[in-house]
Amino acid sequence: MSAHPIHSISVVGSGNVAEAIALAVAESEELHLKQIVARNPERGRVLAEMTGAEWCQDAGAAAEADLYIICVSDRAVGDVAATLPSIDSAIVVHTAGSVEMDVLGKRARGVFYPFQTFTAGRRVDFQQVPLFVEGCDEPTTVELERVARTLSRRVYRATSQRRREIHLTGVLACNFVNALYAMAADRLSEREGLPFDILRPLIEQTARKAVEADHPREVQTGPAVRGDKVVTDRHCAMLSGDSRQEEIYKLLTEYIWETSKKI
């Protein structure tokens, strides 16, 4: 038996992910964004106006839809899902990278995980965003894949275990790297009074080289990959006033040196 065809979609939430998905659905010629369900009245109304959808503040009073996409914090997914109307033909999915599908209960359910960083007000080309799909059964998975392909050219299946691994790599490649940008920017500002603009060309070139290479390790540069202990020891001494940053530097230097031998 095939799953009920999905046409009407309600997005539950009003944060960064909700905005990106709602805009992508609203721009699709094959799908209809029926409603934004959001407790935050200011954001809910703004997002509804941006997408031409209705707005509903109470998830329990949400309009009937073929698919509900829950875009809320990981810890709130289960509670929000439990408040949605129980509609036999509807599918409920969440967008979290590290949350099990079964937190949604026993209804037709799945996961619709966009592997990208989103910021309110910053548009992304959603067709280029990898979408990882999981369904509670084969018909549901196939239908979620169909919907995903209307929004993105990069659609993959992923079990909960696979999705957790993917999410971890995203934290390493995005969140941790951005934290290092911030660490460098703070040091430039606090020690030398220089603006973040000094780092922009370096960051852009580093990212460009990494995405154009077959593997980022092939374009690794710096004193660690050269095994230049004079420079790395000097850097550690400069960081000695902040033991946490010094430890981060030492660990990354060791990692770069050890992994560079694999090339």
Separation of alpha carbons 240 and 54, rounded Å = 56
Query: For 164-260, which CATH superfamily applies?
Result: ProC-like, C-terminal domain (1.10.1040.20)
- For residues 133 and 155, the answer to whether their CB atoms sit within 8 Å is yes
Give the model's pLDDT for residue 141: 96
Instruction: Find, among 94, 96, 164, 165, the residue nearest to 136 by Cα.
Output: 94
Give the model's pLDDT for residue 4: 78
Separation of alpha carbons 168 and 224, rounded Å = 24
Query: For 8-158, which CATH superfamily applies?
Result: NAD(P)-binding Rossmann-like Domain (3.40.50.720)
Structure tokens at 49: 């106006």
Q: Any idea what DSSP says for residue 222?
A: S
H/E element, 136? none
3-state secondary structure of 131: strand
Residues 6+ positions from 132 with CB-CB distance below 8 Å: 111, 113, 115, 156, 157, 158, 162, 163, 166
Separation of alpha carbons 159 and 253, rounded Å = 34
Structure tokens at 10: 């309600």
Give the model's pLDDT for residue 2: 56
Each residue's pLDDT tens digit, 166-190 = 999 999 999 999 999 999 999 999 9
* Residue 150 CB neighbours (<10 A): 15
**Full-prediction pTM beyond 0.85?**
yes
Strands 67-70 and 91-94: parallel
- Domains 8-158 and 164-260 equal at CATH topology level: no
The domain ranges of the chain are 8-158, 164-260
Structure tokens at 261: 């031998």
What is 10-48 written as a DSSP string?
A: EEE--SHHHHHHHHHHHH-SS-EEEEEE-S-HHHHHHHH
* Single-letter amino acid code for the residue at 243: S
CA distances from 114 to 101, 166, 170, 240 (A): 15, 11, 11, 40
Give the model's pLDDT for residue 88: 82
* Single-letter amino acid code for the residue at 164: R
Q: Which residues of the chain have pLDDT under 70?
A: 1-3, 262-263
